Amino acid sequence: MTTYTPMMQQYLMIKEDYKDAFLFFRLGDFYELFFEDAERASQLLEITLTSRDGGSKGRIPMCGVPHHSAKNYIETLVSKGYKVAICEQTEDPKVAKGVVRREVVQLITPGTITEGKTIDGKTNHFIGAAEYVAEQQIAFVILDISTGEATATIIEGDIKTLFQQLQSYAIRELIVGEAMHLEAAEMAQALNIVLSIEHDEMQQTQQFTSDLPPNVQPIASRLLRYIERTQMRSLSHIQPFRFTEMNHYLSIDANSKRNLELMQSIRGGDQKGTLLWLLDETVTAMGGRKLKQWLHQPLVQRTKIEQRLTIVEHLLEDFFVREELRERLKQVYDLERLAGRVAFGNVGGRDLAQLRESLRQVPAIREQLLASKSEPLRQLGEAFDICEEVEQLLAVAITDHPPITIKEGDVIRDGYHDKLDELRYAARNGKDWIAQLEQKERELTGIKNLKIGYNRIFGYYIEITKSNFGNVDLTRYERKQTLANAERYITQELKEKEALILNAEEQSLALEYDLFVALREELKAYIPRVQALASEISELDVFISFASISEKYHFTRPIFHDGRDLTIKEGRHPVVEKMLNKQLYVPNDCILPSDRNMMLITGPNMSGKSTYMRQVAITVILAQMGCYVPAKEASLPITDQIFTRIGAADDLAAGQSTFMVEMLESQYAITHATKNSLLLFDEIGRGTSTYDGMSLAQAMMEYIHQEIGANTLFSTHYHELTELEHDLARLQNVHVSATERDGKVVFLHKVKTGAADKSYGVHVAELAEMPEPIIERARVLLTQFEAQEAVKPVQEKSSIVAEQLSLFTDQPSLSKEEQEVLEVLQKANIMGTTPLQAMTLLHELQQKLLSK
């Protein structure tokens, strides 16, 4: 250490406490990085790598960024998953003895960044914490530092279930203990989630965690401790953690959210083409975030759902009230994040002006609601706290158009503070006097362009060019500065006024800053009220969006009942309908009475089977969010969970094939579903051989029918499965119709009763413009195969499975593991094994073979 300069010794001592972060070390007007930090940052930020003298060891790597533009560089590093420690000068260099004292004032991490281009106004930016509280039970807490919203729950499942939740909430950073860090590290790295260990004792913070179960409180306290340690500032805007029971909301696992494209499209990965894209006509950032929360967690309590639907109904009926409210809401800024900035102490004059202008809209919004004929809307208005004291305080204190930074002046309004007014008057009056002096000197000297200038080094001065020296009595002036072609002078009178003006300005700016800080502290007491108001405004914004969407796309109010029958008349997929042309979209019924609540859907590819299945799920989700639905009529039960297995994709990060992913998602659905769930399975078994796939699909259908009894939509290309309608009492066959015209397939997109008679696979290939020779050859082969199948004896057809199994016995030599697998298969009671047990057995045997 002693081989380095004193400043580098200081740097190294601070860096020792922040080994996992880039240390932005403030030197004058720059943040500098050294050693390995500099080498890595220069590459990541694409800035020049240089060096400086570090002591007796010679030069050391260095790079830097200007402090005024550091935010962009910091955001770039954090968006790539890194942490940045901000080290500021905490001592005035003018009074420092030796090296200026420096301290880290904030650690910015992927979960704690609150500003920048990557922070979407309509999206919560959560940081999470998790820990096992029992076997297959994980306490999971999340917090948005920018808004103060905090929730907690207990997840039933393992680490994979936890990471599904992390993906659902787009969480970039998770706080864990050492044991979970070891278990989760590999998966976190694959999903680009930063794991941070909080070593400190989990101190209880009753102020925020008192409403949580005892076994969850320590995890929430751990998260708060991490935020307190890294942010080093007030947490007064953090709201008490709200505990949510998983069974209080319609549960939609991460796979199903992805398959249904609720918030992110499968193809583009963006918001366009999603249900959120269709629904989001909110006009406030708070409303946009609230809409996402409701989409994440639709309700299961019928009373609350009906209350939401009634509010939407009344807003839908009163167009003028709705539009007046919308126009008012457009002028409301993000109250939640403004409150967070007040608490954090980084709120500026413009922020407070936005807060004031937002609060000025609230009385009119409240009056509009109270004047409504609708009792639910009046109740909504009564809940509004107009925060009159806050608005009045800001009206008196803050100017109409404050500057960006609070140290520029003109943030505090005239008349707010007597002393400030006096100083401002002195400064302004002095400047008027200088303007008058300038005019007077011009008249005395006859120099029309004579100016009285100012700079921070020499103060005020009268500048006379050398060409005018002969016309001026220079004995009146005192020389202050010599230039190449001019001289700068000052008079005794100007010198006296200069001291008055500069002292007044300096004192004025200092006093104004102190007054602003005091005002900011005073506003902290009102943060909970502003947050409560923000919540009410965000809900109103979502209700108005629901009403507008329902009117625009001709949605209807769903009817809920206590039974299990599901009836949707002329249902539509609203997103597909919007992206196409609504005149082209073919509506379809979905009737699932309790005694026929399983539907097997057949039909060709591209006919609309998947879209039909998705639209049923989306209708249920919209209804339980409290929104109208895209149908002519909808009579629905309360659904507790939705599971989908739609589409196929490898999970390369976990080293799993398409078929394994399909089986794992199916297993999760089957083991978690209840009779009140909705299951959607699209072409199960297509990732393996025909007979394997058909066997699994049939076994799954039988298990769901006999053991679960949930409302189920099951699509397939295995036409043999349609025979199950005779064996499974609650199963009904339907098909998406198509027809041939002039040798070409025409998709009718209409769901009809009964099974499909053809698959039209060759026709679909023709639509895809497959080369003509391939199409012709396929037609010939299809005719031959169909003729052979028609004359093949039943015994010959059934022997194919035996032929497939003979692959195992034809091996010239078997390993010990392979022999053991064969023995287990020979002894297994296949007919007495449930589908789930069979899947488990197959998985174990596969792992045994792979591990040899």
Binding residues for ATP: 603-610
- C-alpha distance from residue 101 to each of 7, 14, 86, 91, 575 (Å): 10, 11, 14, 5, 58
d(CA 84, CA 110): 9
DSSP-derived 3-state class of residue 260: coil
Report the amino acid identity of residue 109. Answer: T
Tokens representing 346 are 């980084």
Place of tokens 């629905």: 636
Choose among 611, 612, 636: nearest CA to 624: 636
Following DSSP, what letter does each residue of 631-695 receive, concatenated? SSEEEEPPP-EEEEE-S---BGGGTB-HHHHHHHHHHHHHHH--TT-EEEEESTTTTS-HHHHHH
- Binding site as annotated, residues: 603-610
Sheet harboring 486-490: ordered strands across? 451-455, 459-465, 486-490, 478-482
Sheet harboring 21-27: ordered strands across? 50-53, 59-66, 30-34, 21-27, 83-89, 102-108
- C-alpha distance from residue 221 to each of 94, 112, 198, 505 (Å): 42, 16, 11, 47
DSSP-derived 3-state class of residue 299: strand
Contact 233, 345 (CB under 8 A): yes
d(CA 29, CA 844): 63
Pairing of the two strands 30-34 and 731-741? unpaired
Residue 788 CB: number of other CB atoms within 10 A? 9
Burial of residue 781, with CB atoms counted within 10 A of its CB: 0-12 exposed, 13-18 middle, 19 or more buried: exposed
- Which helix (H) or strand (E) element contains residue 120? none
Q: How far is CA 599 from its chain centroid?
A: 35
Q: What is the CA radius of gyration of the chain?
A: 36
d(CA 434, CA 459): 13
Tokens representing 319 are 């167009």
DSSP-derived 3-state class of residue 748: strand
Burial of residue 218, with CB atoms counted within 10 A of its CB: 0-12 exposed, 13-18 middle, 19 or more buried: buried
Longest dimension (CA), the chain: 127
Following DSSP, what letter does each residue of 567-619 receive, concatenated? EEEEE--HHHHHHS-TTT---EEEEE-TTS-EEEEE--TTSSHHHHHHHHHHH
d(CA 529, CA 537): 12
Pairing of the two strands 21-27 and 83-89? parallel
* End-to-end CA gap in the chain: 53
Contact 264, 173 (CB under 8 A): no
d(CA 388, CA 362): 9
d(CA 582, CA 585): 5
Q: Which residues pair with 461 in a beta bridge?
A: 453
d(CA 3, CA 537): 61
What is the 8-class DSSP label of residue 830?
G
